Structure 1
Amino acid sequence: MNTGPTRGATIETDPITDFETMVRRLKASIIIPVKNDARLLEQTLKALRPQLEQLPNTEVIVVDNGSSDETESVAKAHDDVYFLQELSHDSSPYSARNLGVVNAIGDVLIFLDASCVPSESWLITGLRAMVENDCDLLGGNVVFTYSARPSLGEIVDSIKNIQNERTITRFGFAATANLFVKREVFETLGPFPSAIRSGGDVRWTKLASSQGYLISYCPQAIVHKPARGFSQLVRKERRTSQGSVAIGNDSGRHAPMIRNKLTRCLLPFDPIRAFRKLSEVQPGKAPMLILPVMATLWYLRAVSLISYLRELARQRASTR
């Protein structure tokens, strides 16, 4: 771990209002798991630096999960960053996040992906929203960014993935790409599922909301994330299917999961919502792109179903 600044001491800030003072005196820990993402990690840490000056009771913990690029040197170049390594469960961001939690001193634990570059007021906005709403968990807004000529994969990624507003308000779960959590929730529920690559945030935040913890959404707590290309999306579907099998294992009910995935294959996405998103990303081209986008969404749903069935069969065969 980097030596970094003195940890544990509360730094008083000039009072503005009672509410503002409460926000600024919060101890918070930003936990960033990373594997082979040095370039975007550097952008994220640079974007955080002025926000840490505004809120000096906040620390940043970067947890490397087995990188072979310049991730370690990038993290250690920032004096205000504490660097850890989680190598016992290589390629498991949830194990990395759990290690960050164990070493964190904050009363608020903030999970941020290395590829999610925060807007200039992200941190203070998220903390204010937590205090104002008196919520236990708060998901922020993940805004996708695109290349100069967005590919079909990038467009589909922004339509399909990390839709925090929808998943929080309708289903009670959020992605750890941009998530604020009170420490007491972790102390009660325990850590994220470890040694898995995908799906741990869905399982954990669903558990939290089912146990009565209040989860809210803040559209102004914005981070910017590059959209994935098509091949990355296919790999993600295969990974998340493993997480879905784990959720089915938890409940002991795989049949509803399979039916849901089959239904989503037959009706992969709301075409009206897809068209609206297309109109935002590619103004004027939505009519031409809607059919390729819907076909891609269908293909990814099929990949998800097939990957789920294969993973379930593999697990059952291994226990015989």
Structure 2
Amino acid sequence: MNFTEPFVSIIIPTYKDWQRLSLCLDALSKQTFPGENFEVIVVNNDPEDAVPSFISLPENWQIIDEKKSGSYAARNKGLQLAKGPILGFTDSDCLPDKDWIYNAVHLFDEKKCDRIGGDIQIFYEDETSPTNAELYEKVFAFKQAETVNSIGACVTGNMFTKRDVFDKVGVFNDTLFSGGDYEWARRASEGGFNIEYGESVKIFHPARKTMQELVKKAKRVGGGTAHMLRGNKIAAIKDYLKTFEPDSYTLHMIKAYGNSLSTYQKFKVFFLRFYIRHTMNFEKLKVVFGKVANRA
């Protein structure tokens, strides 16, 4: 394959996460895709948090600031400077596989697709003794294949797209702190832009280790998706009450992705799922009734 074209722009939002960003950048520096054919744009979403001295960048990589809060505002800032006809997105806590960019470019060429949702592999801090939160993440976190194939969307922790998709459907909704990738994907699908799941387009993501981290994410997602109800309080109440209905999705996910778990661990994950759903839907209810959604 001839790599003189295309040029690829990688966009990474970061927020007070320099240590993990340094590992992400190190993984990007080891890509098999030629270094002169891609750039990396890191967007610091807290301009008052200065770039530490241990972060060093190649000549065609850069760190810019975006003071408007939210990862989608940060990604939009990166889009303004990106030069490539292919855009890749990941997060500062992710570790791209060495063939990440190469395989994405190859898949675009092979499938003639417009967007790619790449595989996200979860790993534990201690593989021999996962916490309850890590077990939950193993079953429910970042199931890109299901998301791509069922609703034509993917998370921006591992997404590639042609630049002309943004040119036609617009940028991310930067009023959102969560769910902006799905909202953008809906516009892309409605615009006729197809998506492929890229099993070989792989990144590695640490599982959230504590319940506090899971709860923070559930509240962020609940608050971030409240906009879809357009202020409809009755719909918000109905969504909250659905928390207490039987959940076939939970059983499906445990069956599909919990094969390595013991029966006891599966029960724990089942009840954790109920708690997380309750937290998420209750936060969505509160935001619809006037609470301000936050990024935490």
Q: What TM-score comes out, normalization by structure 1 length?
A: 0.83
Question: Which of 85, 106, 110 is the matching residue for 1:128?
Answer: 106
Contact 1:143-1:225 at 8 Å conserved across structures? yes
Q: CA separation of 1:254/1:177 partners in 2, compared to 1, >3 Å: closer, same or farther?
A: farther
Moved more, 255-264 or 162-171: 255-264
Task: Report 1:1-320 matches (<5 A).
Answer: 20-21=1-2, 24-51=4-31, 54-66=34-46, 71-87=51-67, 89-90=68-69, 92-148=70-126, 149-228=129-208, 229-249=210-230, 259=238, 262-263=241-242, 265-268=244-247, 269-280=249-260, 282=261, 286-314=262-290
Measure, in 1, the Cα distance between the counterparts of 2:273 and 2:267: 10
Offset at 1:101? 0.3
Measure, in 2, the Cα distance between the counterparts of 1:220 and 1:112: 15
Measure, in 2, the Cα distance between the counterparts of 1:254 and 1:26: 48
Measure, in 1, the Cα distance between the counterparts of 2:188 and 2:168: 9
Residues matched between the structures, number: 288
Measure, in 2, the Cα distance between the counterparts of 1:59 and 1:179: 16
| Secondary structure, counterpart of 2:259 in structure 1 | helix
Q: CA separation of 1:158/1:255 partners in 2, compared to 1, >3 Å: closer, same or farther?
A: farther
- State the AA in 2 paired with 1:299: Y
Measure, in 2, the Cα distance between the counterparts of 1:75 and 1:129: 31
Contact 1:59-1:81 at 8 Å conserved across structures? yes
Please list every run of 5 or more consecutive structure 2 residues that lacks an aligned counterpart in the other structure. Answer: none
Please list every run of 5 or more consecutive structure 1 residues that lacks an aligned counterpart in the other structure. Answer: 1-19
Moved more, 154-163 or 170-179: 154-163
- State the AA in 1 paired with 2:85: D
Deviation string 1:49-82 (CA, Å, 9 cap, x unpaired) is 1227625211000000117767554444544421
Measure, in 2, the Cα distance between the counterparts of 1:184 and 1:295: 43
Deviation string 1:184-206 (CA, Å, 9 cap, x unpaired) is 11111111011432111111012
Contact 1:33-1:64 at 8 Å conserved across structures? yes
Offset at 1:150? 1.0
Measure, in 2, the Cα distance between the counterparts of 1:274 and 1:68: 42
Contact 1:36-1:71 at 8 Å conserved across structures? no
Contact 2:156-2:181 at 8 Å conserved across structures? yes
Contact 1:245-1:312 at 8 Å conserved across structures? yes
Deviation string 1:130-172 (CA, Å, 9 cap, x unpaired) is 1211111101001001021211101112322221111110011
- State the AA in 1 paired with 2:107: A
Q: What TM-score comes out, normalization by structure 2 length?
A: 0.89
Aligned to 1:8: none
Moved more, 191-200 or 214-223: 191-200
Structure having greater relative contact order (Cα 8 Å, sep ≥ 6):
2
Measure, in 1, the Cα distance between the counterparts of 2:215 and 2:96: 26
Contact 1:41-1:71 at 8 Å conserved across structures? no
Contact 1:60-1:80 at 8 Å conserved across structures? yes
- State the AA in 2 paired with 1:204: W
Measure, in 2, the Cα distance between the counterparts of 1:50 and 1:295: 41
Offset at 1:253? 6.5
Contact 1:29-1:110 at 8 Å conserved across structures? yes
% identity of equivalent residues? 27
| Secondary structure, counterpart of 1:123 in structure 2 | helix
Q: CA separation of 1:24/1:277 partners in 2, compared to 1, >3 Å: closer, same or farther?
A: farther
- State the AA in 1 paired with 2:108: M
| Secondary structure, counterpart of 1:304 in structure 2 | helix
- State the AA in 2 paired with 1:155: L
Moved more, 61-70 or 191-200: 61-70
Contact 1:24-1:55 at 8 Å conserved across structures? no
Q: Which has the higher helix share?
A: 1
Offset at 1:258? 5.8
Aligned to 1:3: none
Moved more, 147-156 or 173-182: 147-156
Measure, in 1, the Cα distance between the counterparts of 2:55 and 2:172: 24
Deviation string 1:242-300 (CA, Å, 9 cap, x unpaired) is 22112232xx76766764564354234432531453333x5xxx212111110000000
